[in-house]
């Protein structure tokens, strides 16, 4: 699609894009002969500087501006990005990366190993929680020359190679940030990366405009001249934008699940759920195990037997997921499906409740609990309502509590709840995204997305610790298989489904979703064809 045709598509529809009125005529000249892309971003990111903020909207836009040493294919095999090649020593302690030699920052300065050392050993340790945890494992991070970086670990850490994805270790320019107040650096208003796109304009509340970086280090890339991220708070309007051709792409939860198949069924649209393998979101009902009777495994099993999790997948997320079998997703390394299964069985649930001595009162109620609803939209509300209805079959009365984002985060992180629901990313390896929910050392009051349920099992702690530093996949698999069986038997949370987010895009777009970070990738290869 040529640029002139791209502009005709935008401005020739019956509902022209107000946010682009008067804008495209003044847009920069095309960097390549191909056209641009209009997509949706919701909610609006608070900032585009990926080293300073890792929320999903920042990652989606910032992933076009910032890069890391590696990217990953759909099987989570590392692929070159700012590193052209790498070696890992036999003892698993030394990682040596050889960098591209022709990359530039968006301000024209050359990219070198000094930027990597500064980012990973200095800046990210201060501002990026996940990067800090990963790079604190290093004895040293050094640059023997301008295009080589050596990471020397204190002890083996098997998933260390996965630490170099763009949202996990975004490389920042040393010459811009060294010695400054990172969060208040004037450069944050116009981020400087090495990625295929650079920020041209951000009209707050309306759109973010990226343009192709003409000096990008891969010849012939990017294949798009520009990307407009349209900010559309209303869900119905986001669907309309795709229907009318005002937008070419929607990702993550831009389109409500009940509307996905209709929008994806439009003649010019395609749907894929590939591209979220690195994140592999896992959803569950979260339980405060400090409270009775939630602290009794028999009660947790009774609740699981009262749930028809297939109903959640089929009728609440409309097929955009699959029933979870345990703590590790099928798309994450070391998954083991040979674990106990919990199909809905009301009789088994009632037998367990009777065994506990939880007799029903005159109204048939055995126990009363509250459920704090996460304020993440209609799907989370429906999941809460389904839970209340399901528990009623066993005489468990659930009162639903509504709150705002801050109230929910405060309640869960400070353990002031009975039951809620949650969804966490797995980041490609159980040591990075799974263990944090179940190890007792991560019971940290006031910290969200930690072991907020309060689960403690020394054997589980031991297995996760050993698996993180084991150097062979066979040993790690055995350890993670054992820990999955224990967790599925003890049910510290009630796993519901593995989320499969939809990416809906114009069928003329080619090479858009090419790896495990999907719409958060850099789109360097994307083009119209």
Q: Give average pLDDT by consecutive 10-residue segment, the chain, 529 residues.
A: 42 39 31 70 90 88 98 95 97 96 98 98 90 91 98 94 95 98 95 98 96 97 96 91 94 91 93 93 97 98 98 95 96 94 97 98 97 87 97 98 87 96 93 93 86 97 94 94 98 96 95 96 96
Match 């795709």 to its residue by tokens. Answer: 242
* 215 phi and psi angles, rounded to 5 deg: -100, 25
Q: Is the Cβ–Cβ distance between 292 and 89 less than 8 Å?
A: no
pLDDT of 26: 31
* C-alpha angle 421-414-365 in degrees, rounded to nearest 5: 55
Q: Is the N-terminal amide bond of 522 cis, ω within 30° of 0?
A: no
Give me the pLDDT at residue 378, please.
82
Give 313's DSSP letter: I
Sort strands 503-506 and 493-499 into parallel, antiparallel or unpaired. Answer: unpaired
pTM (2 d.p.): 0.81
Q: What domains sit in the chain, N to C, each tagged with a CATH number?
A: 3-66+195-273+502-528 (3.40.190.10), 70-177 (3.90.76.10), 282-499 (3.10.105.10)
Long-range pairs of 4-13 with CB within 8 A, sequence gap ≥ 24: 5/35, 6/35, 6/36, 6/528, 9/245, 10/38, 10/245, 10/246, 13/244, 13/245, 13/246
pLDDT of residue 409: 85
Contacts of 494 (CB under 8 A, 6+ apart): 284, 285, 287, 300, 303, 304, 307
User: Which residue has 């400087």 as its token pair?
Assistant: 192
How high is the pLDDT of residue 28? 27
Q: What is the DSSP letter of 349?
A: H
Q: What is the rounded CA–CA span in Å between residue 496 and residue 317?
A: 11
Q: Which two tokens stand for residue 28?
A: 């920069």
- Please report how the helices 257-264 and 235-243 are oriented relative to each other, as an axis angle in degrees rounded to 10: 10
The number of angstroms, rounded, from the C-alpha of 353 to the middle of its chain's C-alpha atoms is 37
Residues 6+ apart with CB under 8 A from 519: 60, 249, 251, 252, 275, 503, 513
Count other Cβ atoms within 10 Å, centred on residue 179. 6
Task: Report residue 345: phi and psi, to 5°.
Answer: -155, 95
Q: Which two tokens stand for residue 430?
A: 């159980």
**By C-alpha distance, which of 315, 317, 320, 286 is closest to 303?**
286
* Residue with token string 């209609």: 378
Per DSSP bridges, beta strands 37-41 and 503-506 are unpaired
Give CA separation, 330 vs 60, 338, 354, 416, in Å: 24, 12, 35, 32
């Amino acid at each position: 699609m040529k640029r002139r045709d791209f502009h005709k598509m935008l401005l020739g529809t019956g509902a022209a894009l107000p946010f682009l009125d008067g804008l495209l005529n003044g847009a920069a000249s095309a960097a390549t002969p191909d056209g641009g892309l209009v997509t949706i971003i919701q909610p609006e990111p608070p900032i585009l500087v990926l080293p300073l903020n890792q929320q999903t909207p920042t990652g989606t836009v910032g992933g076009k501006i910032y890069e890391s040493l590696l990217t990953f294919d759909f099987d989570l095999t590392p692929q070159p990005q700012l590193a052209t090649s790498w070696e890992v020593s036999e003892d698993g302690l030394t990682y040596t990366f050889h960098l591209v030699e022709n990359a530039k920052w968006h301000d024209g300065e050359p990219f070198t190993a000094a930027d990597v050392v500064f980012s990973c050993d200095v800046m990210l340790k201060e501002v990026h929680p996940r990067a800090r945890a990963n790079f604190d494992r290093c004895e040293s991070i050094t640059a023997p020359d301008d295009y080589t970086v050596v990471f020397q670990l204190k002890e083996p850490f098997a998933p260390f190679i996965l630490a170099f994805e763009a949202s996990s270790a975004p490389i920042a320019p040393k010459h811009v940030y060294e010695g400054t107040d990172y969060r208040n650096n004037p450069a944050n208003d116009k981020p400087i990366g090495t990625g295929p796109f650079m920020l041209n304009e951000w009209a707050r509340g309306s759109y973010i405009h990226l343009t192709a970086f003409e000096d990008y280090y891969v010849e012939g890339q990017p294949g798009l001249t520009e990307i407009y991220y349209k900010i559309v708070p209303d869900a119905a309007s986001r669907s309309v934008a795709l229907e009318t051709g005002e937008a070419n792409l929607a990702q993550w939860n831009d389109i409500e699940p009940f509307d996905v198949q209709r929008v994806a069924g439009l003649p010019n649209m395609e749907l894929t759920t590939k591209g979220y393998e690195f994140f592999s979101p896992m959803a569950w009902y979260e339980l405060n195990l400090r409270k009775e009777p939630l602290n009794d495994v028999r009660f947790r099993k009774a609740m699981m037997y009262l749930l028809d999790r297939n109903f959640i997948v089929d009728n609440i997320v409309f097929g955009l997921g699959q029933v979870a079998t345990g703590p590790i997703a099928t798309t994450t390394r070391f998954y083991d499906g040979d674990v106990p299964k919990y199909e809905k069985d009301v009789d088994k649930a009632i037998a367990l409740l009777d065994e506990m001595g939880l007799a029903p009162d005159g109204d048939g109620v055995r126990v009363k609990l509250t459920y704090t609803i996460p304020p993440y939209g209609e799907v989370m509300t429906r999941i809460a309502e389904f839970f209340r209805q399901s528990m009623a079959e066993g005489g468990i009365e659930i009162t639903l509590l509504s709150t705002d984002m801050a109230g929910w985060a405060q309640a869960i992180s400070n353990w002031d709840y009975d039951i809620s629901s949650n969804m966490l990313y797995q980041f490609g390896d159980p040591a990075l995204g799974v263990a944090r929910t179940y190890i007792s050392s991560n019971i940290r009051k006031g910290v969200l997305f930690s072991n907020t349920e309060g689960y403690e099992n020394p054997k589980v702690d031991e297995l996760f610790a050993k698996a993180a530093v084991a150097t062979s996949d066979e040993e790690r698999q055995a350890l993670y298989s054992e820990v999955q069986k224990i967790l599925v038997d003890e049910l510290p949370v009630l796993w519901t489904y593995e989320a499969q987010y939809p990416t809906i895009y114009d069928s003329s777009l080619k090479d858009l979703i090419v790896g495990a970070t999907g719409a958060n990738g850099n789109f360097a290869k994307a083009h119209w064809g």
